[in-house]
Amino acid sequence: KDEKKVFKVIEHCDSYVDYTLELISSDLANEWLAKKYIDKWLAWKYIDVATEQSLKETFSLRNEISATEKRIYEKESEVREATRAQEQLRSNITALEHNQKDAAKYVKSLGVEQDKLDGLRLDIKTSQSRKKDLERQLSTTIDTMKMSKKLSK
């Protein structure tokens, strides 16, 4: 008896390696494109110097955005680790309710972890703001770029 079933498949990737490869390949593609084509286009007078600068600026901004995204990803990973460490410290404190001296050591460590967590969250917020600024700059650069040039017959 043949049965047809429909399954919804969602792929989720938490692998930092995959993210890094994507980031590296993006940066390499931009560098390759700039060296292989933009310089030739300029030499062949398909584009002018201003357009060349605009294109290189867009690649530079895109690379900065990629680096900022990587930083955010790394900091979010550190936040997850710090959160797990805090959970472990809390369970240790709970287990040592009757031993105030040892529990005090864990409370102090918990405070240090909280300070670290606050710093990481602030860094993430700053990086996200930086990413938005870079994306605005990129959008403005693309919007103001003039890609038309009259070619001689």
CB 130 within 8 A of CB 68: yes
* Secondary structure of residue 36 in the 3-state scheme: helix
Mean pLDDT, to the nearest integer, of 50-55?
A: 83
Q: Torsion-angle region of residue 45: left (phi > 0), alpha (psi -120 to 50) or beta?
A: left
Q: pLDDT tens, 60-85?
A: 898 899 899 999 999 999 999 999 98
Which has the minimum average pLDDT: 1-5, 41-45, 61-65, 97-101? Answer: 1-5
Taking the C-alpha atoms of residue 48 and residue 36, their distance in angstroms, rounded to an integer, is: 16
Highest mean pLDDT among 29-43, 55-69, 138-152: 55-69
Q: Which helix (H) or strand (E) holds 140?
A: helix 100-144
End-to-end CA distance of the chain: 70
Highest mean pLDDT among 10-19, 45-54, 87-96, 133-142: 133-142
